[in-house]
């Protein structure tokens, strides 16, 4: 991610925006992936597990788990040849279910559901090729239907 830095020019005295890249001492994920074949665990600096899973021929494969800094499970799902596949689940920091959705080759496809912090359904609908399709229903935090949205089929 690039950070913006304001600098002044001497000739005109006007401000301009310069973009500089953030650098990290950690190797890039792609470079790590090329080296991996087998179980993999990444850790937060000075803390617990960030994610765990398996690489097969340099690509994420099978079930992966992602964790928050507090150790709470953040997301779990499967990869096939390095791409998200099947049902994925995400949780909030307090452990409450946040959303459930399906992927085909890294793209949202099929039913998605999101939940309010109190556990009630927030909204639900389908994706096709990464875009909302059909009827989506939105609910209040008390579970009452708030609105219905129609998306292209």
pLDDT band at 30 (very low <50, low <70, confident <90, very high): low
DSSP 3-state of 99: strand
Whole-number Cα distances in Å, 7 to 3, 22, 38, 69: 13, 17, 47, 35
If we measure between CA atoms, which residue out of 88, 77, 134, 133 comes closest to residue 114? Answer: 88
Model pLDDT for residues 126-152, shown as the tens digit of each residue? 999 999 999 999 999 999 999 999 998
Model pLDDT for residues 98-111, shown as the tens digit of each residue? 999 999 999 999 99
Q: Which residue has tokens 């340099």?
A: 58
């Amino acid at each position: 991610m690039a950070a913006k830095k304001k600098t002044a020019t001497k000739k005109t005295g006007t401000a301009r925006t310069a973009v500089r890249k953030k650098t990290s001492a950690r190797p890039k994920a792609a470079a790590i992936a090329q080296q991996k074949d087998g179980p993999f665990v990444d850790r937060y600096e000075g803390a617990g597990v960030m994610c765990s899973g398996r690489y097969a021929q340099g690509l994420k494969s099978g079930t992966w788990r992602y964790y928050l800094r507090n150790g709470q499970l953040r997301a779990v799902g499967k990869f096939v040849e390095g791409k998200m596949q099947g049902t994925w689940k995400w949780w909030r920091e307090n452990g409450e279910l946040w959303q459930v959705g399906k992927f085909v080759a890294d793209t949202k496809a099929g039913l998605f559901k999101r939940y309010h912090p109190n556990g009630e359904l927030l909204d639900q609908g389908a994706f096709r090729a990464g875009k909302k399709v059909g009827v989506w229903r939105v609910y209040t935090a008390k579970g009452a239907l708030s609105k219905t949205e129609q998306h292209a089929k």
